[in-house]
Amino acid sequence: MAFVGVTFPGGGIKGDDPEQCWKIRRALDGLTRELGDAVVALRLFVPAYAEFIRAASTPLCPGELPRRQDPMVSRPPYLFARLFLLAAGRYRAILLAHKDLDPAFNNARIALENELPNLRGLCDSATHIEERLQGMARSIPIVTRPVVSATMNVTSSSAVFMEGLNGDAIEYTTADGELAELRGP
């Protein structure tokens, strides 16, 4: 398991403009908080997902009907995956809001978006579930696209995926009708 640490030089940020120094400090505090949330979510996701898989793969006795999984076992992987997604989205939003403050913020945002190209669309879908339930995105109907993968084959134009786990990836239908995913480490 990887360990993530954040180190700030010195005890504060110094410069000619105290207001800009204060804004940079607040941005760094926000980034540290969201990074911490993302790390916690990943650390909790791994054992929760392992328990979910163990419970789902328990063999049935002859003649036994499949039983509904206990939500205390089946929901935590989704919750932790969503927490990671939203923390990463908030991290991106903080970088975007401060892109003009210092070039490092914009460079970090661009690097994050290159690494996680579907991040904004996935966060929008996770946040605006009320629109996705209606097959809408920003009050415009979503034109869905066929989804063909190893685990599903949906060619109907009416399928909008609200939230799914596919291995270590969380998936949503984004505003452009694509099924997008954010894969864990």
- 17 and 100 co-located in one domain: yes
98: left (phi over 0), alpha (psi -120 to 50) or beta: alpha
Strand 179-183 with 169-173, pairing: antiparallel
State the Cα–Cα distance between residues 83 and 22, nearest whole angstrom: 28
CA 52 vs. chain centroid, Å, equals: 19
Q: Give me the number of domains the chain comprises.
A: 2
Query: Would you say residue 54 lies in a domain?
Result: yes
Mean pLDDT of 76-85: 92
* 6 belongs to a structural domain: no
102 and 169 both lie in a single domain: no
Full-model pTM? 0.82
pLDDT single digits (tens) 102-147: 899 999 999 999 999 999 999 999 999 898 888 888 888 888 888 8
Q: Return the pLDDT at 98.
A: 94
Which range (12-21, 44-53, 154-163) has the least confidence?
154-163
Question: 53: domain range?
Answer: 13-58+70-116
In the chain, what percentage of residues exceed pLDDT 70?
Answer: 87
Q: Does residue 126 share a domain with residue 107?
A: no
With a cut of 60, say whether residue 178 has pLDDT above it: yes
User: Which pLDDT belongs to residue 1?
Assistant: 39
Mean pLDDT of the 5-30 span: 78
Q: How confident is the model at residue 17 (pLDDT cuts 50, 70, 90)?
A: confident
Is residue 156's pLDDT more than 80?
Answer: no
| 60-80 burial code (b ≥16 CB/10 A, e <16) | eeeeeeeeeeeeeebebbbeb
| 145 and 54 both lie in a single domain | no
